[in-house]
Amino acid sequence: MFRDSQKKYVRRLILGDVSIDDLTITRVLSMSPEEYSTRVRYVIAAKKLERLGVSVEPGQAVTYVLSKSGASIIQTTSENEYDLEAYLKVLNDAAKTVLTPILAFEMDSSR
């Protein structure tokens, strides 16, 4: 059942049959964007917001879409600008997270 849902969403992603709103990811900043030493996607998005003149503070939620540049803010993202490969990986990782314990339990139960 879960595999069928996964296949359905993979197909929708590949065909471009998803809205940007369905693809958004939101993270809350724990520091100001300048304080981060790693280049994570939500910090990339926060810095893009700052370049547009938006003040970004610790505790603020940043909403973005996975894109080839790492992250695009939803305010400037067009419908087909998302990174297909990145979303397929996110979907696959989520499926593994959900299914691995279930499949392991089923295998142990069948012994």
pLDDT at 107: 56
pLDDT at 31: 96
Residue 65 · residue 42 · CB < 8 Å:
no
pLDDT at 1: 60
pLDDT at 108: 60
Q: Which stretches in the chain have pLDDT values below 70?
A: 1-2, 103-111
pLDDT at 69: 86
pLDDT in tens, 77-95: 887 789 999 999 999 898 8
pLDDT at 109: 59
pTM: 0.80
pLDDT at 5: 81
Residues facing residue 25 across a β-bridge: 64
